[in-house]
Structure 1
Amino acid sequence: MTDSAPISIEQGLRTDHRDVAAALFWEAFKGKLMPVMKPETKALAFLVSAIDPSHAISAVSGRGELLGIVGFKTTEGGFVGGGLREMTKVYGPVGGFWRGLLLSVLERPVEAGTLLMDGIFVSASARGQGVGTMLLDAVRLKAIDFGLARIRLDVIDSNPRARALYERQGFVALETSETGLFRHVFGFRSSTRMNCQL
């Protein structure tokens, strides 16, 4: 990215960024989602339909390019929602059913007093420019606006770079859960829960 204009942080997701957001989300998380959500064309179709802009904070360049998103989850929903109906619409009744069952393993409950992060990702062209830190600062302010005491996220063992960023931003590892046999499906062995007190 060569844009010298300042990066802006926006609440929500612009309508014309929806397809780009789905593609960036897929690029960031396809390592663990591909075995369940392939083929890619259907995965992207599902993501475009399941994204909830009201549960997103966007980083946008001076030219209006989407650089990254941090999603969050509340009792009203999450950044990537969608249920069995949306899944079967894209994958059919049988394909949607078994995919929905497997993906439910990754679901995390919303806890009282806690903002649950529902994914953070930055475009390849914007990495190394502090966009991830800006998004984490923004989600921290969002949690404070909601009157919450902490932020929670879960990071997988195959993403040490992300974990290092979270630790630099004040997140502390609380517990690690093994995926067991599901490691053969999702491609990672464990997930660590991290909290940041506000």
Structure 2
Amino acid sequence: MHALTITRGFCETERDTVARLYWDAFSGKLGPVMRPRARALAFFTSVLDPEFALTARDDTGTLLGVVGFKTASGALVGGSLRDMAQVYGWVGALWRASVLSLLERDTVTDTLLLDGIFVAPEARGRGAGTALLTAIKAEARDRGLSFVRLDVIDSNPRARALYEREGFVAGETEHIGPLRHIFGFRSATKMVCVVAA
């Protein structure tokens, strides 16, 4: 088994790989809004910001997974309406942005907001997810923050179990009502981990 290391960001040559892994992880939730796949990949490839990513790699340097985060100054998956329009056209961008805004989460002063964690299928079970969660907690501490927060959807119990093992505690659950027909899940639970020394 290869050793894991965590690096900051990713290189431009890895942008397509990160976009594909992101889409593979979140297409169940975002697919109905962001399809077709080719356009979704084009959009994510263009807007991913490595400044807001930590990457798990093996000792050969192969990218195994990524954890993104969001601050007041940006996020792993950002982009503007204009960026979306370049891929989907203005009409497609306007309705997609309106629907996606329903999932938007605001940042909080003392909290680092997790903006997606995803691991390559061939790397699952090798500790990459755990290493990325440990790294994001260290990132929050290094920034002088007290908490890391994420939202986990009800259709992903394996992820929730991992978060609980890593010290995240479930809080408020938000039910999305009829939007479940669009996004494919019924509720999302806020989970918080205390990271202050």
Q: How many pairs are equivalent?
A: 195
Q: Which residue of 1 aligns with 2:8?
A: 11
Determine which of 163, 169, 185 is the counterpart of 1:188: 185
1:136-184 Cα deviation digits (max 9, x unpaired): 0000110000000000000000000000000000000011000111111
| Counterpart check, 1:37 vs 2:34 | yes
Tell me, in whole angstroms, the C-alpha distance in 2 between the residues paired with 1:146 and 1:37: 33
**Structure 2 residue 45 is the aligned partner of structure 1 residue 48:** yes
Does structure 1 residue 121 correspond to structure 2 residue 109?
Answer: no
Q: Distance in 2 between matches of 1:135 and 1:5?
A: 16
Q: Structure 2-normalised TM-score?
A: 0.97
1:75 maps to 72
CA distance in 1, matches of 2:4, 2:125: 13
Deviation of 1:11 (Å)? 0.9
Tell me the secondary structure at the aligned position of residue 74 of structure 2.
coil
SS state at 1:185 partner? helix
CA shift digits 1:5-56 (9 cap, x unpaired): 4221101112221110000000000001110000000000000011000000
Secondary structure, counterpart of 1:82 in structure 2: coil
1:100 aligns with 2:100: no
**Counterpart-to-counterpart distance in 1, 2:45 and 2:179:** 26
Percent sequence identity is: 55
Aligned mates of 2:102, 2:83 — CA distance in 1: 18
5+ long unaligned stretches in structure 2 = none
- 1:61 CA displacement: 1.9
Supply the distance in 1 between the matched residues of 2:67 and 2:2 (Cα, whole angstroms). 21
- Whether 1:139 and 2:144 are equivalent positions in the alignment is no
Q: Is the 8 A contact 1:73 1:110 kept in 2?
A: yes
The one-letter code of the counterpart of 1:81 is G
Separation of aligned partners in 1, 2:137 and 2:52: 14
TM-score by length of 1: 0.97
CA RMSD of aligned residues (A): 0.8
Q: Does the CA contact (< 8 Å) of 1:83 and 1:100 recur in 2?
A: no
**How far does residue 62 in structure 1 lie from its aligned partner after superposition?**
2.1
